[in-house]
């Protein structure tokens, strides 16, 4: 619920930023500010640009302050832990207060912030998302392979093969549609982007089944390549579908229908996707250095490293409490198949109330008593980067092919800048995935897939 709440705040902040680009909002801002904010650029575009960055700067600063306050929090016994999961009233008040304060800062600050600092944060956010996508591709395929190896399940074999074929068919279908509707004569940018994506798609597919790659990592294969391919093809499709139509290369802009509704739906989908991606990235243990305790799906330094170094499954350090001992015993029983996985969730001993827990008021069913499920400070850093991406995405439209003075809603991402960001992001994603395949071959000593 904590993560959902932060995602909802990011979603509301994004929608507010988008609404501030409308003519109605700009006029209201000009009246409310009473010329306090000196305009150093021409027209309403300056108000729209600065307003978007003010709102996102306010939420970014809130997450920055929370990150500072939560540095070093490793479990719920820390007195600062409730700051992450509670105090929602003060957080909302602080968020709104920071928005008000941001409108007292001169526009010149946000011209520099938006054109340089926020742009760097947006790039970092995009790179993080690509790394997580590649990791998701490997995780999904390896999960299916483990299920097949453990149970020889035809169901999981069908899931793996079916999803791989489905994603490749989706990639081919999107490529054909792009060539038909977005790659007419004179649309050299679209032709190049679609062709390069197709070449990279075929390249990583061949590399993933190359004998040398299979020898270094037998679990690498077409399933991972298919996941990356369909995502990168989608990015390319989104890029050509959201570009301006000054070269008559985007028939969707000229399509009949309710344009306002399509723009609103597109904006909401964009912001919801961003909120989900941010929450996923901010709580992803492998990438963010999670400190999950044993039995909660994380790496346990007490057991895993001991087994690797000493060659036995004995615990050579004393657990923190009887509850920790019981959790360790249950974890081993679940791994051996003696107990179902639900035993870890149902582990409730009414007699187990440690003195420390009684003093600190920690609930006996607290799943972060021995370690947080994700890094609190990094969680807020990722959200801060997300506000930079939202602000950058929105303000690239200001002064572009859509003038906010027309009074319409601004299409989110309909600029050549946004299109090229998606196209280049797809290429970078292919590169990251290719490196995950090639690195074990080039540096075998650092990888062990036995």
Report the alpha-carbon angle 171-175-179, nearest 5. Answer: 175
pLDDT for 314: 46
What would the pLDDT profile of 111-120 be if each residue is shown by its tens digit? 888 888 888 8
Question: If we measure between CA atoms, which residue out of 203, 254, 263 comes closest to residue 232?
Answer: 203
Is the Cβ–Cβ distance between 191 and 183 less than 8 Å?
yes
CA neighbours within 13 Å on the CB side: how many for 441? 15
Distance CA 52, CA 42 (A): 16
Q: In this predicted structure, what is the pLDDT of residue 341? A: 63
Q: What is the DSSP letter of 418?
A: H
Max Cα-Cα span within the chain? 76
HSE value, Cβ hemisphere, 13 Å, CA-based, for 63: 26
Structure tokens at 391: 């602000």
How many Cβ atoms from other residues are within 10 Å of residue 388's Cβ?
A: 24
Q: How confident is the model at residue 351 (pLDDT cuts 50, 70, 90)?
A: very low
Rounded Cα–Cα distance for residues 51 and 40 (Å): 14
Dihedral over alpha carbons 266, 271, 273, 275 (to 10 degrees): -170
Question: pLDDT tens digits for 164-188?
Answer: 999 999 999 999 999 998 888 888 8
pTM, to two decimals: 0.67
Q: Compute the distance between CA of residue 14 and CA of residue 6 in angstroms, rounded to an integer.
A: 12
Q: Which of 383, 431, 45 is nearest to 232 (CA)?
A: 431
How many CB atoms are closer than 10 A to CB 24?
11
User: Comparing C-alpha atoms, which of 33, 89, 40, 128 is closest to residue 378?
Assistant: 128
364 has pLDDT over 90: no
pLDDT of residue 258: 44
**Which one has a higher pLDDT value, 355 or 230?**
230
Burial class (CB in 10 A: 0-12, 13-18, 19+), 393: buried
Which pLDDT score is estimated for 225?
92
Place of tokens 């509670």: 86
DSSP-assigned states of every residue in 168-223: HHHHHHHHHHHHHHH--TT-HHHHHHHHHHHHHHHHHHHHHT-HHHHHH-TT-SHH
Q: How many helices (H) and strands (E) does the chain have?
A: 20, 0
N residues, the chain: 450
CA 402 remoteness from chain centre: 28
Q: Which residue reads 């330094």 in tokens?
A: 301
Tell me the C-alpha distance between 399 and 138, whole Å: 41
Residue 208 has pLDDT above 50, yes or no: yes
- Residue 371 pLDDT > 90, yes or no? no
What are the tens digits of pLDDT across the range 337-349?
A: 666 666 655 555 5
Instruction: Measure the CA–CA gap between 107 and 39, rounded to whole angstroms.
Output: 6
**Average confidence score pLDDT of the chain:** 74
Taking only the tens place, the pLDDT of each residue in 372-394 is 777 888 888 888 988 988 888 77
Q: Tell me the two tokens of residue 90.
A: 């003060």
Q: What would the two tokens of residue 211 be?
A: 């004998």
With H, G, I as helix, E, B as strand and everything else as coil, classify residue 146. Answer: helix
**Residue percentage of the chain with pLDDT more than 90:** 18
pLDDT at position 367 is: 63
DSSP-assigned letter for residue 113: I
Task: Note the pLDDT tens digit of each residue in 149-161.
Answer: 888 778 888 888 9
Residue 71 backbone dihedrals phi, psi, to 5 degrees:
-60, 130
340 CB-side CA count, 13 A: 3
Full DSSP string of 60-104: HHHHHHHHHHTTT--STTSTTTHHHHS-HHHHHHHHHHHHHHHTT
pLDDT digit string, tens, across residues 64-88? 999 999 988 887 778 888 888 888 8
Residue 434, pLDDT score: 92
């Amino acid at each position: 619920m904590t993560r959902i709440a932060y995602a909802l705040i990011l979603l509301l902040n994004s929608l507010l930023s988008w609404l501030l680009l409308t003519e109605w909002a700009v006029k209201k801002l000009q009246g409310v500010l009473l010329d306090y904010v000196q305009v150093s650029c021409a027209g309403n575009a300056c108000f729209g640009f600065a307003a978007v960055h003010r709102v996102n700067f306010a939420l970014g600063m809130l997450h920055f302050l929370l990150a500072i306050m939560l540095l070093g929090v490793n479990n719920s016994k820390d007195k600062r832990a409730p700051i992450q999961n509670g105090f929602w009233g003060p957080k909302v008040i602080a968020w709104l207060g920071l928005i008000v304060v941001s409108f007292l800062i001169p526009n010149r600050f946000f011209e520099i912030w938006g054109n340089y600092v926020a742009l760097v944060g947006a790039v970092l956010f995009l790179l993080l998302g690509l790394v997580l996508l590649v990791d998701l591709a490997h995780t999904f395929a390896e999960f299916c392979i483990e299920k097949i190896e453990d149970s020889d399940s035809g169901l999981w074999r069908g899931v793996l093969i079916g999803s791989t074929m489905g994603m490749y068919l989706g990639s081919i279908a999107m490529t054909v549609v792009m060539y038909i509707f977005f790659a007419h004569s004179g649309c050299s940018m679209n032709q190049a982007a679609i062709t390069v994506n197709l070449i990279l798609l075929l390249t990583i597919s061949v590399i993933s089944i190359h004998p040398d790659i299979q020898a270094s990592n037998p679990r690498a294969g077409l399933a991972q390549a298919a996941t990356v391919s369909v995502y990168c093809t989608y990015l390319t499709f989104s890029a050509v579908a959201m570009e301006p139509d000054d070269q008559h290369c985007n028939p969707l802009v000229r399509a009949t229908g309710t344009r306002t509704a399509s723009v609103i739906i597109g904006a909401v989908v964009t912001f919801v996707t961003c909120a989900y991606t941010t929450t996923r990235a901010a709580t992803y243990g492998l990438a963010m250095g999670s400190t999950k305790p044993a039995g909660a799906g994380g790496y346990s330094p007490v057991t895993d490293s001991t087994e690797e170094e000493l060659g036995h499954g004995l615990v050579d350090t004393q657990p923190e409490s009887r509850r920790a001992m019981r959790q360790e015993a249950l974890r081993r029983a679940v791994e051996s198949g003696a107990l179902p996985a639900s035993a870890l969730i149902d582990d409730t001993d009414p007699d187990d109330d440690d003195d420390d827990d009684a003093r600190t008021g920690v609930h006996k069913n607290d799943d972060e008593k021995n370690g947080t499920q994700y890094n609190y400070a990094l969680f807020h850093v990722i959200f801060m980067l997300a506000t930079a991406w939202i602000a950058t995405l929105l303000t690239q439209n200001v002064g572009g092919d859509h003038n906010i003075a027309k009074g319409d809603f601004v299409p989110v991402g309909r600029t050549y800048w946004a299109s090229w960001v998606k196209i280049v992001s797809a290429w970078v994603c292919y590169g990251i995935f290719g490196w995950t395949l090639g690195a074990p071959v080039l540096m075998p000593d650092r990888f062990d897939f036995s």
